[in-house]
Amino acid sequence: MTLKTRITDLLGIRYPIVQGGMQNVGYASLASAVSNAGGLGLITALTFPDPEALAQELALCRSLTNAPFGVNISVFPTMRPPDYEAIVDVVADAGVTVVETAGTPEVRGVWDMLLARGMTVVHKCTSVRHAVSSQKYGVHAVSIDGFECAGHPGEDDVPGLVLIPAAVDALDVPVIASGGIADGRGLAAALALGADGINMGTRFCATVEAPIHDRVKQAYVDGSETDTDLLFRPFRNSARVGRNSVSQEVLRRLAVPEPRFEDVAQLVSGLKGKELLKSGDLDSGIYWSSMAQGLIHDIPTCADLIERIVREAREIIGGRLAAMLAH
């Protein structure tokens, strides 16, 4: 059973399902499981301390799957920028041909390196205007991230039901729908809205192969669609996380006339978030979560999850919706 779209053709995969590029989650164990199940798994480059460690993880992933997998490379402001040229070299040397990018306009320098090496570039955007600009620059596909998503949803607050078809209308390259998708209904809806595939992050965190603590996985099962918090809005760097005592304290500290990031920096440090995923102490930092957690009710293997999603989508498209036309 396959589900053919422009994205399956572009990426060489069986199903139009892409794993989100998630910091401290996108390891070979998860990426290979997604790819073996017919989707596109992604290893997150900046999870690793240096290009050499990334090269080792890519080699491990290659040993675990014969299917295509990709790498996420994100570009964000930092005091000590990663060596992006070395990262691209490592990815190219590993024979990886698909790279998902995200981040600030400085990402264009990474695009130049990737495009010069003939790689397929999928860029994640949170607005149509940025998607159009990315297409003009030469990316091969756009992953459009709605307001429901985990991580950074942008500042426009446009949900997927509007953002996805708006992007499809404005673009010629294939569109991957991202944000708030967790099941076959989401896949069928995305395809109906004109997208060529879906991207899921939070849903893949609640799988057997996700390299995070079982208590974190259970938090996604237990959380509802209203159990997320939107942090850093005063700094126009909004970030959606799972609600816990830390996220609530961050909101409390920033609810002042002149909020300062310094007042919450220690609470939201990346090191604390990384340790939370390992320890399962849900109140030791912040962790990303989308509104899609309200649609997560179990912790399956990636293979079972993907097969179920595809089966549900096919039943909706060829069954329920087709029956409506018949009558």
Tell me, yes or no, whether 135 and 244 share the same domain: no
Residue 218 lies in a domain: no
Tell me, yes or no, whether 202 and 256 share the same domain: no
Burial class (CB in 10 A: 0-12, 13-18, 19+), 163: buried
Tell me, yes or no, whether 122 and 260 share the same domain: no
Residues of the chain short of pLDDT 50, as ranges, are none
Tell me, yes or no, whether 232 and 139 share the same domain: no
Tell me, yes or no, whether 30 and 168 share the same domain: yes
Burial 275-308 (b: 16+ CB within 10 A, else e): ebbeebebebbbbbbbbbbbbbeebbebbebbbe
Tell me, yes or no, whether 171 and 257 share the same domain: no
CB atoms under 10 Å from CB of 82, counted, come to: 19
Tell me, yes or no, whether 137 and 50 share the same domain: yes
79: domain range? 6-212+296-326
**Domain containing residue 58: CATH number:** 3.20.20.70
Reported as type and span, the H/E element at residue 219 is helix 214-222
Tell me, yes or no, whether 96 and 57 share the same domain: yes
| Whole-structure pTM value | 0.96
Task: Note whether 34 and 20 are within 8 A (CB).
Answer: no
| pLDDT of amino acid 1 | 61
Tell me, yes or no, whether 162 and 281 share the same domain: no
Tell me, yes or no, whether 164 and 76 share the same domain: yes
Residue 185 lies in a domain: yes
Task: Read off the amino acid at residue 232.
Answer: F
Tell me, yes or no, whether 100 and 140 share the same domain: yes
Residue 312 lies in a domain: yes
Residue 223 lies in a domain: no
> What domain count does the chain have?
2
Tell me, yes or no, whether 83 and 196 share the same domain: yes
